[in-house]
Structure 1
Amino acid sequence: MIVSVPRVLIVALAAVFSAYHLVLAVVSIDVPRHKEPYIAAMVLFALATVLSLLQSRTQRMPTWIAAFNMAVAVVVPLLVTSQFDQTEAQGTYAAWHTAAIGTLMVITSTRRRHTFAWIGTAALVVQTVAWAGPGGLVAYGVIGSVGWVAVSHALSLSLAKAGRDTRQYALAEREAVEWRAAQEAHVSERQFRLGQTSRMSLPMLRQIVAVKGELTDAQRLECLYLEGAIRDEIRGRKLLNDRVREQIMIARRHGTTVTLLDEGGIDDLGEDDLDRVLNRLADAIRDTQTGKLIARTVPEGSEIAVTVVGLSSFDDGHSSALGSHGIDDEEDRVDLWLEIPRAEEVLSPGRLP
C-alpha cells in the first residue's frame, strides 16, 4: 500500500522550519552591531522561502527562483557575520543563518535544482570557514546542513527514478492488457469463424461422404458456391447480413463473380447505420447485372462507408464463381460505381453505361 503525503502538509512543515530560523534571528537581534544588514538578511531569507514554497505548475523549481536562492545563500551569511565576530555569537542564536541557508538549500534541492543548491551550500561552507575557521563548520551546524542537502538530493533522485519506473510499469501493464484483449479477440473471432464455417459446410460434407465423392455437375457447382460463401465470411466480415448473403448467392447463381473486402473501415458504425449500409449494398447487388462485382470498405475518416464496383469483361462469357479475376483487367468495362455513405444524408451514387 502506497501512502501519499499531501503537498500542503510538506509545504507547511517547510514553512514552520523556516519561520523557526527567523524567530531565532529575532531573539538574537541585539547581538549585531548594526541591525539594518541583519534585518535585511532576514527579509531576503523570508522572501526566498516564500518564493520557493509557492504553488507552481511543476514540481521543478523555476530557474530564476533557484538562482535567487543561490544568491541569498551567498549574501545572507555576509550580511549577518559582518556585524559580529564568532566570539560575540557564542552562546546566542545570532548565527541563525547557517541552519536557515541549509533549510533553503534543502528546499531548492527537493524541487530538483540540485546544482543551485550545492553551489549555495558550498558558498555557505566557504564563508563559514573564512569567518570562524574549520571548527565553525561543526560549531554552527554547517556540517548538518550539508548532510541534509545530500539526503534531499538522494531522495529527490530516488523519487524521480521511482516515478519513471511507475510510468514504465503502467505503460507495460496497459500494453499487456491491450495485447491480451487482442489475443482474446483473435481467439473469439477464430472460434466464431470456425463454427460458422462448420455449420455452412457440414451439410455438403455429409452429402459428399454419402455419395462417396461421386458428385454431379450441379453438386460440384454448389460446392463452388459454398466455397465462395465461406470466403465471404472470412473476407467480408461486417459487410454481410442475411439480405447480403441471399443476394450474393442469387447473383452467383446467375454467373456474377462477387468479391467482398472488409478492411475494418466500418467497425465504428452503429447498428442502425450498419444496417442501412448493408441493406443498400444488398439492393445494389440485386439491381445490378454485371460480370464481376466488388464491394470494399473505405478507411475511417471518409464520408463514404463502402464502394461498390460492377465490371463486365469482353471474354468468352465464362465467369468464375470464386472471384479469381482482378478489377484491373484492361478489357474490363465499368458498369456500376456506387458509394454508400456513412451518414444517411450524404448520397453520391453513380451508374455508368
Structure 2
Amino acid sequence: MISVPRWLLMALAAMFSGYHIVLGVSSLSTEVAASPWPIIVALVLYAVATVLSLWPARRARMPDWLAALDLAVGIVLPVLVTSQLDPSRDNGYATWYVAAVGTLMTIAAARRQLVVAWAGVIVLAVQTVLWAGPLALGQLGVIGSLVWVGIAHMLSAALASAARATRRYAQAEREAAAWQAAQDAHLFEGRMRLAQTQRLASPMLRRIADGGHALSDVERAECRTLEAAIRDEIRGRMLLTDAVRAAVRHARDRGATVTLLDEGGIDELDEAERDRILSQLADVVERTRAERIIARTAAEGSPVAVTVVGLSGGNGETVESEDAEVELWLEIPRAG
C-alpha cells in the first residue's frame, strides 16, 4: 500500500493556494479592476483563511468555527472581486477568485466539512450565474471547482470508510487473540489438572488393579481422600494452592468434609491479590474445627472474593441440614 505523507499534501495545497494569490496580485497591475482595494482585501482574507485551514492540527476534521470562516470568505471573495470587474469583458487573471474559492472549499471537504464545502461552491456558482450568466460557469472554471469538491468528497468518504473498516478489523483481531489466549489457557489448565490427577491417583489405581491385593480399611479411607482431592482439582480450580491443598488434606484427615467451589469469581484478580486471598483461606481451613467446610467464590462484581462456611452437628452432608450449626462464617474481601 502506497501512503502519502500528510505534510506533502499540505505543501501541495499551499502551493496551489499561493499560485492563486500570485494571480490575484498580478491582476492588480492591469487596468481590468476599477479599484484595487477590494481585491487586496479579498487577497488578505483568502491568505488568512488558507493559512488557518492548512495549519497543522491533531484532528483531521476542521473545527466548526474555522469551517464557518472559510464559508464566509468563500461568499465574500466573489462579491469583493466582481464588484470591480465588468462581466462583458475578458477579465483574464482577475477572476482568480473562482479557483481560489474552489481550492478553499476543497480543503474544507478534505478536512471533513462536506456541508460547508458544497455550500461554498454552490454559492459561487449562483453568484457567477447572477453576475455573468450561465455560460460563465464553464468559462470562469466554476464547474472545475465543483468537480474538485466532488472528488474531495468521494476521497474523504472512502478514507472514512477505510478507517471504520480498519477499526472493525483491529477489534476483531483483538477479540480473536483474546479468544485464542483463553483457549490456550483452558488447554494448559486441563493438562495441568490431568497431570495432577494422574500423580495423585496412579499409585492407588495400580494397587486396585492388582487382583491379588485386598484393600485394607486404611487404603479405602485413602481412596476416599484421593477421590475428594481429585474432585477439588475439578471444582476448586483457582482456589487451589499448595497451602490450600495441605490445609484441606489436614482437615479431611481429622474427619471433616471439605467442599471447594470455584465459579470464576477470582479469575480476573492479579496474582498478588489471589495469593493473599488463598493464603487467608488456607489459614482458616487449617484453624477451624468445623465438621463440614464449604469455600465458594463470590460473583465477579461482589466486594467479597471467597465465602467460607463451617458447620458442625447434623446428620447430613448438606448445608441445608436443619440440625447443623454454623460454627464459622467468613467473607474474604476482594481488595486488601
Instruction: Give the TM-score range, shorter chain.
Output: 0.7 to 0.9
Q: Is the 8 A contact 1:239 1:278 kept in 2?
A: yes
**Are residue 17 (structure 1) and residue 16 (structure 2) matched?**
yes
Partner of 1:155 in structure 2? 155
- Specify the SS of the correspondent of 2:19: helix
Paired with 2:60 and 2:23, the residues of 1 have a C-alpha distance of: 30
- Pick aligned residue for 1:325 from 304, 318, 321: 318
- Quote the offset at 1:104 in angstroms: 0.7
Partner of 1:77 in structure 2? 78
- Quote the offset at 1:77 in angstroms: 1.0
Q: Is the 8 A contact 2:125 2:137 kept in 1?
A: yes
1:165-188 residue CA offsets vs partner (Å, 9 max, x unmatched): 111111111111111111111111
Paired with 1:165 and 1:259, the residues of 2 have a C-alpha distance of: 50
**Are residue 145 (structure 1) and residue 138 (structure 2) matched?**
no
Paired with 1:15 and 1:309, the residues of 2 have a C-alpha distance of: 75
1:19-47 residue CA offsets vs partner (Å, 9 max, x unmatched): 21111111111421022222222222223
Structure 1 gaps of 5+ residues are 347-353
Q: Is the 8 A contact 1:238 1:267 kept in 2?
A: no
CA 1:129–1:341: 2 relative to 1, 3 Å? closer
- Quote the offset at 1:135 in angstroms: 3.0
- Specify the SS of the correspondent of 2:294: strand
- Specify the SS of the correspondent of 1:258: strand
Q: Is the 8 A contact 2:67 2:116 kept in 1?
A: yes
Paired with 1:79 and 1:187, the residues of 2 have a C-alpha distance of: 75
Partner of 2:183 in structure 1? 183
Structure 2 gaps of 5+ residues are none
- Quote the offset at 1:156 in angstroms: 0.5
Partner of 2:40 in structure 1? 39
- Quote the offset at 1:107 in angstroms: 0.7
Aligned letter for 2:246?
E
1:205-254 residue CA offsets vs partner (Å, 9 max, x unmatched): 22221138965554433322111101111222343333432332232232
Aligned residue runs from structure 1 range 61-76, under 5 A: 61-76=62-77
Partner of 1:112 in structure 2? 112
Q: Is the 8 A contact 2:232 2:260 kept in 1?
A: yes
Aligned-pair Cα RMSD in Å: 2.8
Aligned letter for 2:112?
R
Partner of 1:349 in structure 2? none
**Range with greater deviation from structure 2 (233-242 or 72-81):** 233-242
- Quote the offset at 1:297 in angstroms: 4.1
1:10-67 residue CA offsets vs partner (Å, 9 max, x unmatched): 2232222112111111111142102222222222222322332234452222223223
Paired with 2:89 and 2:185, the residues of 1 have a C-alpha distance of: 81
Q: Is the 8 A contact 2:88 2:132 kept in 1?
A: no
**Are residue 222 (structure 1) and residue 222 (structure 2) matched?**
yes
- Specify the SS of the correspondent of 1:289: coil
Aligned letter for 2:19?
Y
**Range with greater deviation from structure 2 (254-263 or 147-156):** 254-263
**Are residue 206 (structure 1) and residue 206 (structure 2) matched?**
yes
**Are residue 257 (structure 1) and residue 250 (structure 2) matched?**
no
CA 1:65–1:313: 2 relative to 1, 3 Å? same
- Quote the offset at 1:153 in angstroms: 0.6
CA 1:340–1:65: 2 relative to 1, 3 Å? closer
**Range with greater deviation from structure 2 (9-18 or 273-282):** 273-282
CA 1:279–1:165: 2 relative to 1, 3 Å? closer
Paired with 1:120 and 1:305, the residues of 2 have a C-alpha distance of: 63
Aligned letter for 1:325?
T
1:93-138 residue CA offsets vs partner (Å, 9 max, x unmatched): 1110111011011011111111221121112122223333333222
1:63-97 residue CA offsets vs partner (Å, 9 max, x unmatched): 2322332232222112211212134444x311101
**Range with greater deviation from structure 2 (145-154 or 46-55):** 46-55
Paired with 2:133 and 2:105, the residues of 1 have a C-alpha distance of: 22
Aligned letter for 2:43?
M
TM-score computed with the length of structure 2 as normaliser? 0.87
Aligned residue runs from structure 1 range 272-287, under 5 A: 277-287=277-287
- Quote the offset at 1:264 in angstroms: 4.3
Q: Is the 8 A contact 1:265 1:297 kept in 2?
A: yes
TM-score computed with the length of structure 1 as normaliser? 0.83
1:301-336 residue CA offsets vs partner (Å, 9 max, x unmatched): 888654433211233xxx6xxxx522x444321222
Q: Is the 8 A contact 1:266 1:298 kept in 2?
A: no
Q: Identity rate of aligned residues, in percent? A: 52
Paired with 2:175 and 2:222, the residues of 1 have a C-alpha distance of: 46
Q: Is the 8 A contact 1:290 1:311 kept in 2?
A: yes
